[in-house]
Amino acid sequence: MIIYLKKKNILKIDDFYFKCTIGRNGLSKKKIEGDKKTPIGLFKLENLYYRSERIKKPITKLKLVKINKNMCWCDDIKDKKNYNRFSRKILKSKHEKLFRKDDKYDLLIPIKFNFEKPEIGKGSCIFIHITKNYKPTAGCIAVSKKDFLIISKIINSKTKINIS
């Protein structure tokens, strides 16, 4: 199964269409850290992370990971060891906290961009996450909470996302 990004504001999965938003500066084949662009390509998806105190356990075929206060994702180009890696403890280097006051990361699925052997500065923390207002992201793809929960029921561990 493949999720397709259509017209920069629609995700298509089979016969389903979901409104979305992407990076403030559009799409890029040459993504770099901080450029506010969404990377172009065909990518695998990771686990589904969720805030169990805010969201009922999602129905999905993806592996579920409960987000706690100590979880983060490194986006520090100076941290060669942890760059674009998930951590179960807060790092001293620059990072995205997954346990946020807002609800953007109440549900998230990392897109496996620059993932297996992260190249420093190529881009990090590219997620599918929640939005309420469809304002552009820093490079992620965001959908409504309702749509995210529907998407999570449709996809599985072999699903890929085609961003073009």
Q: What is the pLDDT of residues 31-43, one digit of tens each?
A: 999 999 999 999 9
* pLDDT exceeds cutoff 90 at 7: no
Is the separation of the CB atoms in 58 and 48 below 8 Å? yes
pLDDT of residue 15: 92
Say which residues have a Cβ less than 8 Å from residue 7's Cβ, sequence separation at least 6: none
pLDDT of residue 11: 97
Show me where the domains of the chain are located. Answer: 2-163
**Strands (DSSP E) along 15-138, which ranges?**
16-19, 27-28, 38-39, 41-44, 48-50, 64-66, 72-74, 86-87, 95-97, 107-110, 127-130
| H or E element in which residue 41 lies | strand 41-44
Give CATH for domain 2-163: 2.40.440.10
pTM across the whole model: 0.94
